[in-house]
Amino acid sequence: MTPATSVGIVHTQYFTFAEKEPFRLESGATLSPVTLAYETYGTLNSDRSNAILICHALSGSAHAAGCHAPDDEKAGWWDDCIGPGKAFDTDRYFVICSNVLGSCYGSTGPTETNPATGKPYGLQLPVVTIGDMVRAQVRLIDYLGIDQLFCVAGGSMGGMQVLEWAAHHTHRLKAAIPLATTGRHSPMLIALSEVGRQAIYADPHWQNGDYYDKSQKPDAGLAVARMVGHITYLSDESMNLKFGRRLQDREKFGYEFQTEFQVESYLKYNGNNFTRRFDANSYLYVTKAMDYFDLTEPTGTLAGSFVHSADIKYLVVSFTSDWLYPTYHSKELVTALTAVNADVTFLDIESTWGHDAFLLEVDTMTKLLRSFLDRLWIEENGRPLPKIDSTKPRALEAGQ
Amino acid sequence: MSGLQSHSPTFSPPSLRPDLSVIADLIPAGVRLLDLGCGNGELLDFLVHQKQVRGRGIELSEQGVLACVRRGLTVRQGNLEEGLADYPDNSFDYVVLSQTLPFLDDPAMILREMLRVGQKGVISFPNWGYWRCRLELLLHGRVPHAPDLPQSWYEPPRWQALTVSDFIALSQDLNVRLLDEVYMAAGKRSPRTWLKNLLATTAVYVLAA
């Protein structure tokens, strides 16, 4: 039995496009066909005005809420915030989440078959950008028959996609919620990405990305990349709280090179775990996409990218202990959006959880997001959005 | 300066804090307005939802911002200096600073900024020139509590006492025009402006550059 606050059992769906007309990427390269894995929760209303697109972060997937099977140990990656009565209330909104281009959870990426060779793309896949990921999402939204999303929301790399939507697909959304993110990947972020990539390149099993038919994959490199990632998602304070200097499974130092501290054990566990669920080449593609992200281009200022996006309502959120995407990144966004006279609400949520806070500060986020979405709905429609009675036959079936 | 008589009849609800109710009456319907240090959004809520004001707020506390968002308001967290700096000149018709003046590090700068981003400013502040404050210092030798800011000198956040006369002198130094004035005592509007520095517990001004 799934709890009443869960969207229940869900299924990943697939949308394929650009079979005839190739999909042109920012780099100039083309891709054909393109597939996006996606999931939806809740019911699209008759005028298709209640759709919210959720954008995932680096290692996320389309599986944002609910479970794929009754005995699933883990629910979707943002199950805390998506479901009946939650921040993104599926009793009222139709929530969509799709896996990004370049990832390894069903969308076109290095693990998928290259139609030209019949083998996985590997590094034959052209490099993709956040702009490409979002343009693919636009195609999905077109296919679902939605002219305008009520809201696009996401944290970290998901937040970059939100900003890309707002800056370059302005008329396709009413509201944007970028969380713990940036309008421009900083040199520190690029440096951290590069350490992860170098760990993968240095793994002898990486084989220049051509390892899919080999018995061993570049797991060691990918695990190190993930460990670096995990450090950046925590904070000095959260590591003190979570691990302290406590030892794992022992009382005193062994004076040997084994995993001794709890924090080491945590990193090792998560690094290894990650190799079972993520692909090393995808890690390269997705981190590279983030590094290229810079909304100060081509005008030279962030405000320049939002000049035509002032009609969108923004909720910008940062977290006090997030040193990966520190508050100043969000403040720069607020400054730029204020300069173009956009309606922008901003909160720097007090939290010790570092970058991970956007997934963990559920209570504050729920209050904030629900209030913000409720207000927008009332402003647009003059009355609150009622719960949708899903027992009634649907007026329209998405994508038909 | 016009007196109280020129104001339209009060139509703000009795539940609004008395000084906020005075400010609400000074604000015309439908204007663009920025509320500095908007707290839990009480004033903005009234102005936005009852007077169709296009309102924005700046608030330092997380609780305040959350309360404002719950009321359906557009508010940004942060300090006033940073917040004001982001707005282009003449972004607003009115910029409001209610009961926050004694807490500012650089009141003159905030005043100039208010009148850069807005056509008019509305400021309310507790008056330490009130006769009881004077007596407290004279008779007891203690730093007086302003009746409308009952906070001891050692309690955070730090404040700086000022009087109606101090504020008028500052406005002259800054070449700021006082367009309107309302004086309050014990939560009620005072019917006259004479001896205002002696009789007012809170003063409210409408200003322009």
3-state secondary structure of A174: strand
| Domain range annotation of chain B | 4-208
Does B49 contact chain A (CB < 8 Å)? no
The Cα of B71 is separated from the nearest Cα of chain A by a number of Å equal to 8
The chain-wide mean pLDDT, for chain A, equals 95
* Homologous superfamily (CATH) for B4-208: Vaccinia Virus protein VP39 (3.40.50.150)
The model carries a pTM of 0.94
Query: Per-residue pLDDT for A395 more than 90?
Result: no
Is A345 in Cβ contact with B69 (below 8 Å)?
yes
pLDDT value of position A394 = 46
Query: Per-residue pLDDT for B171 more than 60?
Result: yes
pLDDT tens figures, A189-225: 999 999 999 999 999 999 999 999 999 999 999 999 9
CA nearest to A351, candidates A163, A179, A178: A179
- Catalytic residue at A355? yes
| Domain range annotation of chain A | 13-186+293-381
Query: Which residue among B66, B78, B86 sits closest to A339, beta carbon to beta carbon?
Result: B86
pLDDT band (50, 70, 90) for residue B12? low
pLDDT tens figures, A292-345: 999 999 999 999 999 999 999 999 999 999 999 999 999 999 999 999 999 999
The residue-averaged pLDDT of B194-207 equals: 94
Q: CB under 8 Å to B112, separation ≥6 — which residues? A: B174
pLDDT value of position A2 = 61
pLDDT band (50, 70, 90) for residue A399? very low
pLDDT tens figures, A127-171: 999 999 999 999 999 999 999 999 999 999 999 999 999 999 999
| Residue B57 · residue B34 · CB < 8 Å | yes
Q: Count of H helices and E strands in chain B?
A: 8, 8
Does B89 contact chain A (CB < 8 Å)? no
| Chain A interface, Cβ < 8 Å to B | 313, 331, 334-335, 338-339, 341, 343-350, 364, 367-368, 371-372, 374-375, 378-379
Q: Taking the mean position of all CA atoms in its chain, how far away is CA A228?
A: 18
pLDDT tens figures, A234-283: 999 999 999 999 999 999 999 999 999 999 999 999 999 999 999 999 99
The residue of B35, B69, B79, B92 whose CB has the most chain A CBs within 10 angstroms, and thus the best one to mutate to test that interface, is B69
| Axis-axis angle for helices B18-26, B42-50 (nearest 10) | 40
pLDDT value of position B14 = 57
Output the DSSP codes for A41-98.
ES---TTS--EEEEE--TT--S--SSBSSTT-SS--TTTTTEETTSSEETTT-EEEEE
pLDDT band (50, 70, 90) for residue A386? confident
Query: Per-residue pLDDT for A3 more than 90?
Result: no
Is B62 in Cβ contact with A349 (below 8 Å)?
yes
ipTM of the complex: 0.92
Share of chain A above pLDDT 90, in %: 94
Longest dimension (CA), chain A: 69
Q: d(Cα B96, Cα B37) in Å, to the nearest integer?
A: 9
Q: d(Cα A20, Cα A30) in Å, to the nearest integer?
A: 12
Is B76 in Cβ contact with A334 (below 8 Å)?
yes
Query: Per-residue pLDDT for A378 more than 90?
Result: yes
How is domain A13-186+293-381 classified at the CATH fold level? Answer: Rossmann fold (3.40.50)
The Cα of A369 is separated from the nearest Cα of chain B by a number of Å equal to 9
